[in-house]
Structure 1
Amino acid sequence: MTRSVSHPPYADPFAHPPETSPQELTAQLTPGARFQDVRFENYRPNPEFPSQAQARDQLAEFVRQAGQKASGGGFWPFKRRAPEGRGFYLDGGFGVGKTHLLASAYHAAKGQSGGSGGDVAFMSFQDLMYLIGALGMPQAIETFRNYKLLLIDEFELDDPGNTHMANTFLGGLMPSGVSVVATSNTEPGALGAGRFNAEDFQRQIQGIADRFGPHRIDGPDYRQRGTEPAQPLSEAEFAAWLARQNPQTTALMTHAELNRALLSVHPSRFARVLEQVSGVAVTNLEPMPEQGEALRFVHFVDKVYDLGLSAAFTGVPLNALFDDIYRNGGYAKKYSRALSRLSEMLREARG
């Protein structure tokens, strides 16, 4: 990829994206670097919202019980069937610590299983959809059949296709004993509300909702507590940030170059691509009128954030990135969370 800045040479993780096998795709289903040290014990609930402490305690107990998953006992033909997996659904706005709690659940479950983590997986809902697309539904179900716990962040059914895949996937695993924790900005019974009203779609929505016990978590976006949303860096701020980075492990590209690069890599491989660098700089942010382009950028932002990479952005104000039609449509919560995370990373870039 041609760079507008050629000296010193900056890293280009998209030049030779690593090949990813199905085994590698599932091996990377762990919390990113930003969430490696989070635990139930260091979650700080807002005392003004008791539901936060309640959600933490309820989830910790759910994970403890999931760790006691038993296989069917006895001998054939008297072998007992393993109990069905249970579902825990954490519903609340973005920025209230749902991902912190979900990652804490992962670390707690790993500790119960002796640290192997081989039967616990952590992923976003979009990761799951991409993984099913890459593996195919039968192989995806078979891959996770012996897991005791799946942790799915930002469970959001944006279209009937996703709904059908999620219902089929959960229906293939939970009856055999796999428990699932999911977080979302939407109550389980209201997933997809206001977007698709086809009878079959609503039936599948209800089928998913019935698998989970809902738990509400309230509160404001912690990333914005007491602060104004951050905006892209000025030229001077960007130059100061860039001077602190190692060029050999920092990716530097314009927004237009990034959009072209994201088209060349399947979203399920974004994390593997970004693991090759320690920092990412995207200059000349521009409005994204095309929704496919905007959603790829949102997924990119999520991966940069989860991996804890140093990041800097210049260009238009954040509220100009996404078209108002999209920000207020079916994907509104994806865009809102991306803007919240961009704002936090920009504050970090300023030091």
Structure 2
Amino acid sequence: MELPVNRAMSARYDALIASGEITEDPVQREAVYQLDLLNTRLAETRLASKKSSLGWLFANKKNQLWAKVEGLYMWGGVGRGKTMLMDLFYEVTVIRRKRRVHFHEFMTDVHERIHAHRQAHKRGEVKGDDPIPPVAEQISEETRLLLFDEFSVTDIADAMILGRLFTQLFERGVVVVATSNVEPSRLYMDGLNRQLFLPFIEMLKSRVEILHLDSPTDYRLEKLAGAPVYVTPLGSDADTQMDEIFSKLTHGMKPHSEELENKGRLIPVPAVASGAARFTFDDLCMQPLGASDYLRIANAYSTIFLDNVPVLSRARRNEAKRFINLIDTLYDNGIKLVISAEAEPQDLYVGEDGTEAFEFDRTASRLIEMRSEAYLAGDNREIHA
């Protein structure tokens, strides 16, 4: 039986508590309450829009109805449940025209649309040299509800267009729900020409409810406590352990696949749930990926699962080099790693000569440290949920 809209989030949250997947948290409960209120408001607005819909005559009136709905901005440290709450809300929301996307991917798409409009204008195919209104119109026609994972502004090109873009989106009735590790007033902190970005922050505050998830508990760390985050040797037992840890960390939610954009290329991500991404060794080290690709992955997820790492040697120096770069990047960014491997870290590389053999000593040392309680307890990431 379909749950009442006004308690759909609460029912899903209660079910996770009853199943033992999560424990009751008063801060999360407040977020659940706020998301239930938002879902109810969205349902009411959707119904009102349908009743008043008489074609183009009432198109602007419908946008005005949606523009009155305030979104939600949830911020807090790693492991406080922001991504889990977003997962639940995406599942239960009544809105069909919804888009969940990493903020980086969204802005890449925006820049591509701006470029396409400018090229079309040069060819005389469209009128008006300002690309922001038509781009906002495109997005609003496609999406009524935008859900952003890891809302973070680090690029000046993004910062300079956000104010005008979101003014247009909000006027067209687009509703925003976002997670972030930083409060709105600290977005684009110390960025170039930040004073030009400040009006966007004030507008954001006026259009979304700000909710600080300040729970003292890092639930991701709690889930990993005592778990064998380095599983060896490979085999069916290792596969089962990896499946169990992934399910436990992601609250048993069904994973989905997605793609990350990096410098015009797409990185396939086979399985994602609750801020954790799962890859095989072949996915990340048998493909032509480089350090910037691994950094893009580190910027998107706070926990990485890596399955089936084999023993490496000079004969597989390309794969070894990629694995070294991958571990360096994850380590430098404080990413939690759950890995299944053919051997213990110090035995993962066979051979005593060559650059890779020398570099792998550091990799083995880092892999050992990354399984320690001290590393897992570290919270040195600034922008990822």
TM-score range, shorter chain: 0.5 to 0.7
When the two chains are superposed, the root-mean-square deviation of aligned CA atoms in Å is 4.5
Contact 2:38/2:71 (8 A) holds in 1:
no
Report the equivalent of 1:124: 102
1:215 is aligned to 211
Alpha-carbon distance, 1:98 to partner: 1.0
1:225 lines up with 2:225 in the alignment: no
Give me the whole-angstrom Cα distance separating, in 2, the residues matched to 1:100 and 1:180: 17
Q: Which amino acid aligns with 1:296?
A: R
Identity of aligned pairs, percent?
Answer: 22
Q: Which runs of 5+ in 2 are unaligned?
A: 1-10, 115-130, 241-259, 272-277, 311-322, 345-385
SS of equivalent residue, structure 1 residue 156:
coil
Q: What is the aligned partner in structure 1 of residue 275 from structure 2?
A: none
Report the Cα offset of residue 303 of structure 1: 11
CA distance in 2, matches of 1:106, 1:283: 27
Secondary structure of the structure 2 residue equivalent to 1:89: strand
Unaligned runs of at least 5 residues, structure 1: 1-37, 246-261, 328-334
Q: 1:241–1:144: structure 2 CA closer, same or farther, 3 Å change rule?
A: farther
Once residues 317 and 346 of structure 1 are traced to their aligned partners in structure 2, the CA distance between those partners, rounded to angstroms, is 18
Q: Helix, strand or coil: the match of 2:77? A: coil
Superposed, 1:125-144 pairs within 5 Å as 125-136=103-114, 138=132, 140-144=135-139
2:163 to 149, 167, 182: 167
How far apart, in 1, do the equivalents of 2:227 and 2:264 lie? 30
1:124 Cα offset (Å): 1.4
Shift of 1:55: 0.8
The structure with the greater share of residues assigned to strand is 2
1:1-351 equivalent positions in 2, closer than 5 A: 39-44=12-17, 46-47=23-24, 49-69=25-45, 70-71=48-49, 73=52, 76=57, 80=61, 82-83=64-65, 84=67, 85-109=69-93, 112-113=94-95, 117=96, 119-136=97-114, 138=132, 140-146=135-141, 147-196=143-192, 198-219=194-215, 220-225=217-222, 227=224, 233=230, 236-237=232-233, 239-240=234-235, 266-267=264-265, 269-271=266-268, 274=270, 280-281=280-281, 292-298=292-298, 302=301, 311-312=307-308, 320-321=328-329, 335-336=333-334, 339-340=335-336, 342-343=337-338
Structure number with the higher helix fraction is 2
1:91 Cα deviation (Å)?
1.1
**Paired residue type of 2:160:** H
Higher relative contact order (CA 8 A, sep 6+): 1
Give the Å deviation of 1:152: 0.8
Per-residue CA deviations over 1:148-204 (Å, capped at 9, x if unaligned) read 311111111113222234333322211121211011111112212244463213333
Question: Which residue number corresponds to residue 251 of structure 2?
Answer: none
Contact 2:150 2:179 in 1 (8 A): yes
CA–CA distance in structure 2, aligned partners of residues 145 and 79 of structure 1: 12
- Structure number with larger C-alpha Rg: 2
